[in-house]
Every structure is written in structure tokens, then in C-alpha cells.
């Protein structure tokens, strides 16, 4: 990728609907930023948020419409891998939108979220390869759009985005992935377990980036992080939180004991 503007590169990655091309564009943009070939000057203002680039399939349905499959069959394991792949594909778009949309952040903010986009693209590629081994491809199963819905609701506030996307929706992966690993190991699927082990270890750092920039935004706004997080949760997620929470992983990802206590209360 030649020298250019980071926000323009983010827009291209975000708009791309072909998963393979999105993967390639993301890897190229991340390498260009690391090499100093992308700047943050001279870009046009961000467009209002809309649907991100994604393929026609999977069909997006309400979460309650998703079929529940056990892990005792290859089909059931493929459905689980597909569900995680869909989350990772959404996470590529979420990371790029965090870069594209919020123009008044320090350079380290953009470096963090480009690294996250690069990681998520690699995760998606690993899961896509595993789906192929199981006789399927991304799009073969229905999926839901809850992650992007929250991106739309927080499009006007980096503070709210950092609080509610990485620290609530994506952090849910820290809670549920250990259980998935245990169930897959019980089913003898060590190939998928190896991928999820990588994803789990790297997602701690992604959620930690959300914690770090949420605190930075709170400091800039002159508000208390714990009180602000509580208020945002009660406004946007009341009745939508589910426990139990992976306390160790969340502490490593920047949650405070007070925040975890409040999450436990709201999920009870």
C-alpha cells in the first residue's frame, strides 16, 4: 500500500464486502501504518454510520431465531465455528469503524485499533479455514447483527463506544470461550480448541484497549469511569447482561473490582 491517509484506508476496509478482500486490505493497511506510510491529516469528515461491508450471506436473523445445535456432530461443531467466525468478522468492521469515525484521538488510539482489526482478520481467516475442514464456509448458517447495532447506537461518542462494544459485547467472549473450549475438548475437536485458545488470549488485549481508551475519554470529559460505566450499562444494557463473568480475564483486561461487582448485580 502506497503512502496515504489512515481514515481513507479504514473506509476502504470497512466498505469491502468480500471477506477475503477485507482480510487482504486489513493486513495491508496494518502493515502500512506500522511502516509509517499512513497519516491522519487531510481526510474528509466521516460519513454517517450505515451498514458495513459484508457478503450477502449469512442471513441475519434475530438471536432467538438461531438454531441450537449440539457439539456431538460435525454439523454442530461447524455451526459453533461459524458463530465465532461471524463475531470475528463483525469485530474487523467494529475496529475499523473505531478508527474511521473518531477523528480527535491520539496516535496510539489508532495504532491500537488497527492492530485489533489485524488480529480479528487473522482470527476470521483461521476460523474460515477450520470451517472448510468441516465441509462448510462462512455464510452457510444464519447469524445475528447485535454487535453492529450497538456500533450504530454509539456512533456519536467514542466514550460510549469504548464502554459498550469492547467492554460489554466483545468482553462476553472472555466469559463464554473457556466453556466452549471445554465442550469442544470433550467432543475431541482439538483443532478448533487450538484456534479458540489463540483467540481467547488475544481478546484480553483487545478488551484492555477498550478499557484504556474508555478511561482516557472519561479523563478528557472530566467524569468518573466507574460511575460513567455504570450509567451507560443501566441505560443501554439493562436486562441484557448475562453472567457468570470471567473475573480473572476481565481484571487483566482492565476492569476494576467495582465494575465487576456492578456487572454481577445487574446480571443477577
For residue range 72-123, list pLDDT tens digits in order.
Answer: 888 899 999 999 999 999 999 999 999 999 999 999 999 999 999 999 999 9
- Environment class of residue 252 by beta-carbon count within 10 Å: exposed (0-12), middle (13-18) or buried (19+)? middle
Between the alpha carbon of residue 61 and those of residues 64, 67, 81, 120, 145, the distances in Å are: 8, 11, 18, 23, 7
Q: What is the C-alpha to C-alpha distance for residues 200 and 173, in angstroms, rounded to an integer?
A: 8
- Residues 205, 213: contact at Cβ < 8 Å? no
Question: What percent of the chain is modeled with pLDDT above 70?
Answer: 99
For residue range 115-130, list pLDDT tens digits in order.
Answer: 999 999 999 999 999 9
Predicted pLDDT of residue 175: 97
Predicted pLDDT of residue 201: 95
Alpha carbon 163 to chain centroid distance? 13
Q: Is 4 helix (H, G, I), strand (E, B) or coil?
A: strand
Q: What is the C-alpha to C-alpha distance for residues 220 and 37, in angstroms, rounded to an integer?
A: 29
Predicted pLDDT of residue 60: 84
Predicted pLDDT of residue 74: 87
Q: Is 0.85 surpassed by the pTM of this model?
A: yes
- Tell me 5's DSSP state: E
Predicted pLDDT of residue 2: 54
Q: What is the mean pLDDT of the chain?
A: 93
Residues of the chain with pLDDT under 50: none
Q: What is the C-alpha to C-alpha distance for residues 20 and 205, in angstroms, rounded to an integer?
A: 25
3-class SS shares of the chain: helix, strand, coil, % to 5 = 70, 0, 30
- Residues 253, 204: contact at Cβ < 8 Å? yes
Predicted pLDDT of residue 113: 98
Predicted pLDDT of residue 145: 78
Amino acid at each position: 500500500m502506497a503512502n496515504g491517509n489512515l481514515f481513507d484506508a479504514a473506509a476502504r476496509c470497512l466498505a469491502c464486502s468480500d471477506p477475503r478482500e477485507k482480510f487482504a486490505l486489513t493486513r495491508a493497511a496494518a502493515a502500512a501504518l506500522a511502516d509509517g506510510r499512513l497519516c491522519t491529516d487531510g481526510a474528509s469528515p466521516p460519513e454517517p454510520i450505515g451498514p458495513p461491508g459484508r457478503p450477502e450471506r449469512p442471513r441475519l436473523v434475530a438471536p432467538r431465531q438461531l438454531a441450537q445445535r449440539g457439539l456431538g456432530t460435525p454439523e454442530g461443531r461447524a455451526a459453533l465455528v461459524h458463530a465465532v467466525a461471524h463475531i470475528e468478522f463483525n469485530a474487523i468492521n467494529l475496529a475499523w469503524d473505531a478508527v474511521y469515525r473518531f477523528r480527535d484521538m491520539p496516535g496510539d488510539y489508532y495504532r491500537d485499533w488497527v492492530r485489533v482489526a489485524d488480529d480479528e482478520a487473522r482470527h476470521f481467516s483461521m476460523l474460515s479455514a477450520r470451517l472448510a475442514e468441516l465441509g462448510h464456509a462462512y455464510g452457510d448458517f444464519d447469524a445475528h447483527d447485535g454487535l453492529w447495532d450497538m456500533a450504530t447506537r454509539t456512533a456519536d461518542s467514542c466514550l460510549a463506544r469504548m464502554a459498550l462494544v469492547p467492554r460489554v459485547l466483545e468482553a462476553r467472549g472472555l466469559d463464554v470461550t473457556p466453556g466452549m473450549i471445554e465442550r469442544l475438548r470433550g467432543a475431541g475437536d482439538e483443532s478448533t480448541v487450538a484456534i479458540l485458545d489463540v483467540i481467547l488470549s488475544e481478546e484480553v488485549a483487545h478488551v484492555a484497549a477498550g478499557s484504556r481508551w474508555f478511561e482516557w475519554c472519561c479523563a478528557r470529559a472530566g467524569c468518573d469511569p466507574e460511575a460513567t460505566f455504570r450509567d451507560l450499562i443501566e441505560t443501554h444494557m439493562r436486562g441484557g447482561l448475562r453472567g457468570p463473568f470471567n473475573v480473572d480475564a476481565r481484571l487483566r483486561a482492565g476492569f476494576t473490582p467495582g465494575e465487576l461487582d456492578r456487572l454481577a448485580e445487574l446480571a443477577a
